Each structure stands twice: as C-alpha cells, then as structure tokens.
Amino acid sequence: MRTSIFTLLLACLAAVSAQGQTNPVSEMERAMSFGTRPGFAVAFPDTDLKIVGDTWNEFVKTNFGSKLKKGKRNEFSAPQCRSANISTGTFTLYSELEKVGSGARLNVWFDIGPFFLNRRDDAQRTDEAIRLLRRFYWEVRKAVADSEVKAEENKMKELEEKLKKLRRENDNLNKDIANYESRLKKAREDLARNQKDQEAALIDIERQRSSVEEAIRRRASVQSEQ
C-alpha cells in the first residue's frame, strides 16, 4: 500500500513538473514605456540571457517580418509587425529581457492599436499569442541544446587535439630514445674498441721497453770496447 501511494506521489510530482516545463508562458500586467499594460511573460530557467536574446531577434524577423530596435530602458520595439494570429493589420511589438536568478525572462507586449492584446479584449488571439510564445520557448530550448552540443563538441575537439599533441610528443620521445640507444650502442662499441686499443698499446709498450733495453745493452757493449 505504501509503495502504491509513493508511486502515485512521484507520478503527480512528475506531472506537475512536466506541466511547468510545457507551459512557460503566463499572462501579466507590467509597467513598460506606455505605463502598466497587459502582456505576456516567458520564463527560461537555467538559460543564458544571450541565447534567449539572439533567438528572440530571429524569431521576430521570421514570424513578424520586423526587426527589434532598442528603446527606453531595456525595452525593445518592433514596428510594422505582421501576423494573422495576432492582428488583421500591422501591430507594434514591445519586449524586455531580464535575468532572473540563473535563468531569464522575456516580457512581451502586443500593441495592436485599440488596445494591448489581452484575454478580456480578445481571448482567441491571446491564446494564439501564447501558442506563438510557447513555440518560441521550445526554439530557445532547441538553441540551448544546440549550444550544449556545440560546447561538448568543442571539448571533444580540444581533447582530440590534446591526444594528437601527446601522440606527437610520444613519437618524438621514441625518436629520442632510438637516437639515445643508437648513440649508447656506438659509445659501448667505442668503449670496447678503446679497451682493446689500450691492451694493444700496453703490449706495444712492453715490446718497446724490450727494444729500449736491448739498445741500451748494445750501447754499453760498444762503450766497453774502448
């Protein structure tokens, strides 16, 4: 019975966690350059701010046909945006990116003219905006995954380069050892030859000593004849 309850609890926690991960977009009312306006917030736990910003720039270009421009504070605007999901005409997009702990948060406002998009005034398009921003969230997740793959691949390249360097060093060391062994072999041969030459020189010295002694005796014999 305890096991069943524990298993059920884990399943519930997993479901809550999964729901939190797959529903990162929330509706909000937040101060921006036009005052407090309704908008949307997208949370990115444990995500680098730069990755979110770069992905958002591309997302705005691709999906709304506009380009973000820096405005007041840390706010960016994209005029003349087009998306049938958001408005029948053009609209202006405002966004603000902020660091939250080890993650990031994107705040977005859709100024469609008569009002800033919100559920009370247009529930259907609000749901469409949430779907768009949720898709953006997953694009950031993909960008993060791509970044992690690239980082791991770079580490792999570094390790491969390290291995290549170690192999080159190994080859050079083996060449040095071969050279040292060749020189050592020659030195031993030279040492053996030197030893034999010394022995031969000693024999020659003894022979020469005998010759010197013989010459001395001959000289003494000559002197004794006077």
> What are the tens digits of pLDDT across the range 66-75?
999 998 778 9
Domains, the chain, with CATH or none: 23-150 (3.30.310)
Q: pLDDT tens-digit profile of 153-208? A: 999 999 999 999 999 999 999 999 999 999 999 999 999 999 999 999 999 999 99
- Inter-CA distances, 113 with 80, 84, 89, 160, 176, Å: 11, 15, 9, 57, 79
Of 54, 65, 102, nearest to 87 by C-alpha is 65
Confirm whether pTM is higher than 0.75: no
